[in-house]
Structure 1
Amino acid sequence: MEDKIITIATYPYSRAQLLKGRLEAEGIECFLSNINMVQPGISTGVKIRINENDAGRAYKIIEEIKGEYGTAKQKTVDRLKEVRRILVPVDFSEASLNACNYALGLAHKLKAEVKLLYAYYNPVISSEPYLETDPYQFNFEGTVGNLEKEAKQQMKSLKLQLEEFVKKEKFTNVKVSYVLDRGEPELVILDYCEKYNPGVIVMGTKGAGEVAFDIIGSVAKKIIEKATVPVFAIPHKSVYIGINYINKILYATDFDDSDYKAIRKLMNLVRPFNIKIYCTHIASDAENTFDNAKMESLEQYFSKEYGDVNMVCDLIENEDVLEGLENYIDEKDIDIIAITTHKRGVFDRIFNPSLTKKMLFHTNIPLLVFHS
Structure 2
Amino acid sequence: MKKILFPTDFSEVANNAFVHALEFAKVVHAELVLLHTFELPVYDNQFFPENYAVIYDSLELSQFDAFKDEIPKLRAIAEEHHLDKIKMTHRLMDGDLLSNIRKSIKEDKIDFVIMGTSGATGWEAFFVGTNTGSVITEIDIPMLCVPLEAKFKKIKTIGFTTRFRTKDKKALKTVLDIAKKTNAKVKCLYVKTSSSDVSKETIEKWEAEFMQEPIEFFVITSDAVKETILDFILYKEIDVLTMLTYKRGFFEGIFKPSLTKKMAANFEIPILAIPID
Q: Partners of 2:75 and 2:257 in 1: how far apart?
A: 39
| Equivalent residues of 1:283, 1:319 under 8 A apart | yes
C-alpha contact (below 8 Å) 2:75/2:84 kept by paired residues: no
Cα pair distance change 1:250/1:145, threshold 3 Å: same
TM-score normalised according to structure 2 size: 0.83
Question: Which runs of structure 2 are paired with 1:356-371 in the superposition (5 Å)?
Answer: 357-359=258-260, 360-361=263-264, 362-371=266-275
Structure 1 residues without counterparts, runs of 5 or longer: 1-80, 126-141
Conserved 8 A contact 1:89-1:202: yes
Select the residue among 156, 159, 166 that pairs with 1:247: 156
Which one of the candidate residues 265, 290, 294 is aligned to 2:202? 294
Which residue identity is paired with 1:331? Answer: Y
Deviation at 1:353, TM superposition (A): 8.3
- Offset, 1:325: 0.8
User: For 2:178 and 2:15, how far apart are their aligned partners in 1?
Assistant: 21
Structure 1 residue aligned with 2:50: none
- Check whether the contact 1:279–1:314 (CA below 8 A) recurs between aligned residues: yes
CA distance in 1, matches of 2:124, 2:96: 22
TM-superposed deviation, 1:239: 2.4
Corresponding position: 1:238 with 2:150: yes
**Equivalent residue in structure 1 for 2:252, among 344, 347, 351:** 351
Question: Is 1:215–1:235's contact at 8 Å kept on the other side of the alignment?
Answer: no
SS of 1:271's equivalent in the other structure is helix
Query: Counterpart of 1:341?
Result: 245
Give the match for residue 223 of structure 2: 319
Structure possessing the higher relative contact order (Cα contacts under 8 Å, 6 or more residues apart): 2
- Decide whether the 8 Å contact of 1:108 with 1:172 is kept in 2: no
**Separation (CA, whole Å) in 1 of partners of 2:165 and 2:26:** 32
Shift of 1:355: 9.0
Tell me the matched-pair count: 263
Q: How far did residue 215 of structure 1 move?
A: 8.6
Q: List per-residue Cα deviations over 1:306-339 (Å, max 9, x = no partner).
A: x2x4211000111110111111111111111101
Q: TM-score, structure 1 length as denominator?
A: 0.63
1:186 shift after superposition: 1.0
1:194-214 Cα shifts (integer Å, max 9, x gaps): 11121100011124449x957
- 2:124·2:255 contact (CA, 8 Å) conserved in 1? no
One of 12, 37, 41 as aligned partner of 1:119: 37
Matched to 2:204, the amino acid is E
What residue in structure 1 maps to residue 3 of structure 2?
85
Identity %: 22
- Cα displacement (A) at 1:167: 2.4
Question: What's the counterpart of residue 183 of structure 1?
Answer: 95
Give the alignment of 1:1-372 within 5 angstroms: 81=1, 84-124=2-42, 143-171=55-83, 173-209=85-121, 216=127, 218=129, 221-240=133-152, 242=153, 245-284=154-193, 290-303=198-211, 307=212, 309-342=213-246, 346-352=247-253, 357-359=258-260, 360-361=263-264, 362-372=266-276
Q: 1:216 to 1:364 in 2, by over 3 A?
A: farther
Contact 2:8–2:115 (8 Å) recurs in 1: yes
Gaps of 5+ in 2: 44-53
What is the CA RMSD across the aligned residues, in angstroms?
A: 3.0
- Quote the Cα distance in structure 2 between the aligned partners of 1:147 and 1:268: 45
